[in-house]
Amino acid sequence: SERLFLEMADRLAEDGWKDLGYKYINIDDCWSAKHRDAAGRLVADPERFPRGIKALADYVHTRGLKLGIYADLGTLTCGGYPGTTLDRVKQDAQTFAEWGVDMLKLDGCYSSAKEQAEGYPAMARALNSTGRPIVYSCSWPAYQGGLPPKVNYTILAEVCNLWRNYGDIQDSWDSVLSILDWFFTNQDVLQPAAGPGHWNDPDMLIIGNFGLSYEQSRSQMALWTVMAAPLLMSTDLRSISPSAKEILQNRLMIQINQVRLGIQGRRIVKEKSHIEVYMRPLSQGASALVFFSRRTDMPFLYTTSLAKLHFPEDTVYEVQDVYSGKIISGLKTGDNFSVVINPSGVVMWYLYPSAFPAQ
């Protein structure tokens, strides 16, 4: 209901979230009335949103935040509410702009591949023609299996700001792992598609809910950051635990996620010991490394070197552990080092060169 979104906006504004960059508060499916009005416009459910979406957007804006909304390119939304058929695209875009909406997620239930191929670019044009800046999140590739030849990532990057490539996340570690496996098995296709203004979206952060342990929560945050994923939380900020809040508000983590260079990371090592290493290049020769354990038994001592991870020779790095804050100074590319990784946990490093090899 309206009250939920008003209270979440207050929490975002007052509990430090907004200052870290969590600025969009997004309404999902089922917000609308079951029927359009006499003029064919979408209207909010009058009982749950008695003052309408514009009043909610206005309040969200007074708190220095932005409002996102959900629609579906089809006869119905996934939840069975009025969809946006091709003849309604312009009208609905205009409605959202008039309400002061700042982001649109356009789902794809109850539509054909042909309708999606026409409708997703049509909505991009319609949103742009409103004159209001509206971030555009597409579910288009997810409905086409997420991979070429059915999905053309070059066209997608021109049409959408972010897109769902894969199925919905559930509140479970198995679900997180299935997303991770799909994204990194297909990283040669997916990684080049991402960049500033056009992002792969592996779906929401479920940290703070019920399905993830503390270690698994830290892992999702680190792995989503290395994927250059949009950080969209899905949890109740009125009752979030201090430990979940600490993970989601990790300042260095968010700075790494938001690096303007916008390159998505890759899995660079997959060991028989069930340890994996992920690397994301950052600005000015810096990098983020994630050491991830798929083990379920006990903490694992993993030994390697930056040389084995294909870092440039003869470079010296400063290292900061993203979670503990611990600093390692003067790490040379050839030096062996060890990290202790908890079961289904991560160690995440931020590395930046303190000395380059003599040119």
Give the residue extent of every domain in the chain: 2-258, 266-353
- Who contacts 348 (Cβ-Cβ below 8 Å, separation ≥6)? 222, 225, 226, 253, 288, 289, 290, 291, 321, 322, 323
Q: Model pTM? A: 0.97
How many whole angstroms separate alpha carbon 48 and alpha carbon 251? 35
How many whole angstroms separate alpha carbon 75 and alpha carbon 265? 37
Query: Which residues are paired to 280 by β-bridges?
Result: 288
How many whole angstroms separate alpha carbon 39 and alpha carbon 37? 5
Please determine, looking at this structure, whether the domain spanning 2-258 carries the CATH number 3.40.50.150: no
178-224 confidence digits (pLDDT tens)? 999 999 999 999 999 999 999 999 999 999 999 999 999 999 999 99
Other Cβ atoms within 10 Å of 109 Cβ, number: 17
The closest alpha carbon to 23, from 111, 130, 120, 103, belongs to: 103
| Cα angle for residues 226, 186, 142 (degrees, 5° grid) | 90
Instruction: Supply the Cα-derived Rg of the chain in whole angstroms.
Output: 22
Instruction: Let me know: does 48 contact 1? Beta carbons within 8 Å.
Output: yes
pLDDT, position 355: 76
Exposed/middle/buried for residue 298 (C-beta within 10 Å: 0-12, 13-18, 19+)? exposed
How many whole angstroms separate alpha carbon 63 and alpha carbon 9? 7
Instruction: Let me know: does 145 contact 105? Beta carbons within 8 Å.
Output: no
Q: Residue 47 — pLDDT band, cuts 50, 70, 90?
A: very high
78-120 confidence digits (pLDDT tens)? 999 999 999 999 999 999 999 999 999 999 999 999 999 999 9
Residues designated as active site: 107, 168
Domain 266-353: homologous superfamily in CATH: Golgi alpha-mannosidase II (2.60.40.1180)
Q: Residue 73 — pLDDT band, cuts 50, 70, 90?
A: very high
**Dihedral, 293, 299, 300, 305 alpha carbons, nearest 10:** 80
Crossing angle of helices 89-99 and 52-62, in 10° steps, is 50
How many whole angstroms separate alpha carbon 90 and alpha carbon 99? 14
Residue 359 has pLDDT above 70, yes or no: no
